Amino acid sequence: MDVSIVIPTKNAGPLFDKVLDRVFKQETEYTYEVICVDSGSSDNTLEIIKKHPCKLYQIPASEFGHGKTRVYGASKGTGEYIIFITQDAMPASKKWLQNFVDAMKADSEIVGGFGIHYTYPDCNIIDKRDLYYHFKNFGEDNTVFQLTDENRERYEKEEGYRHFMVFFSDNNSCIRRDIFEKYPYKDVDFAEDQIWAREMIEKGFKKLYCPFAPVYHSHNFKLSEYFKRYYDEYKGLYRLHKFLISTSWLKIPLQIVKHDLDDARYIKGQQISKREKVYWAWYSVCRNFSRYVGGYLGGKYASYSPKKQAWLDRHISQQYEQRKA
């Protein structure tokens, strides 16, 4: 078997049927299997999986972990390469798998790669912009990243460059099985993919970015959810990169205003109605408040007392809610 495609699932919804349809319609010379690990779906996810020639494994919801569940799924396959996608990441090309594995095979020192994400048509205009420029930064052709004597000092000194070098996303990734079995994902609450990529980069291995292996993957979260999501995200980013969205409460108002003004200029240039522009400007103000205040609280998490950490998690953390559920 050339490739094992591993997909963790839980209440995937109707989109998942389209995801699997695209996965099984790949035009490729490589043989592949699809492994779904479900952690307690109560909708029709299991029926959708059984419509397709997938291997289905079921685990209790209490046993789910972003890292360990993917490790478990990978262990049930035999492919030389392991591709991880999420239940809402839909291949955007019939050559997605072929291009991904071809790019991995081009250099024997590449141990893992991630592909580009396109937004779904209904994605909000802020995320469309942000996702486009995020992936554009990695290049317009297959690009290989490696830590060398030439860039090591920059990697150690520049927080942003370090984040850039170790970015990885198992919403759409490909990893060599021999490497993954030696260095599996860790059992962590957040950023199992980037923790793994950082370890690989710092061991001297090569990482791939493949813009020719695209998936559709974007979200339209409610504004009320962003505060919790940014709290969790920046708590994880500090743990991984020692990254702080702001070093002081006093700087946050100016950071929010600057971000609001940048968004306003972008919104002004969009071909949408005046009413829509007013809405998206208001949306931007609310979301940026959540980004910087929630992100600041999450980033400073390690400096709080255990009692305060527990209080914040109970009242803010979305991951805490998911674990409790």
pLDDT in the model for residue 134: 95
φ, ψ for residue 160, nearest 5 deg = -65, -40
Instruction: Tell me how far apart the alpha carbons of residues 27 and 220 are, in angstroms, rounded to a whole number.
Output: 30
Extents of the domains making up the chain: 3-216, 223-324
Assigned CATH topology for domain 3-216:
Spore Coat Polysaccharide Biosynthesis Protein SpsA; Chain A (3.90.550)
Count the neighbouring beta carbons within 10 Å of the beta carbon of residue 154. Answer: 13
pLDDT of res. 236: 85
pLDDT at residue 191, as a whole number: 86
As averages over each run of 10 residues, the pLDDT of the chain (325 residues) reads: 97 96 98 97 96 97 92 98 98 98 97 98 94 96 96 92 93 98 90 94 97 95 89 88 90 97 96 96 96 95 94 87 64
pLDDT of residue 324: 61
Per-residue pLDDT tens over the stretch 234-286 = 998 888 878 899 999 999 999 999 999 999 999 999 999 999 999 999 999 99
Q: What is the pTM assigned to this prediction?
A: 0.92
Q: What tokens does 109 get?
A: 């020192």
According to the model, what pLDDT value does residue 47 have?
97
CA distance 306 to 293: 20
The answer to whether 299 and 236 have CB atoms below 8 angstroms apart is no
Phi-psi label, residue 220: left if phi above 0, alpha if psi -120 to 50, beta otherwise: beta
Token couple for 57? 């494994």
State how far the Cα of 111 lies from the Cα of 146, in Å rounded to an integer. Answer: 11
State the Cα–Cα distance between residues 90 and 100, nearest whole angstrom.
14
β-pair type (32-38, 110-118): unpaired
pLDDT in the model for residue 318: 81
Distance between first and last Cα of the chain = 37
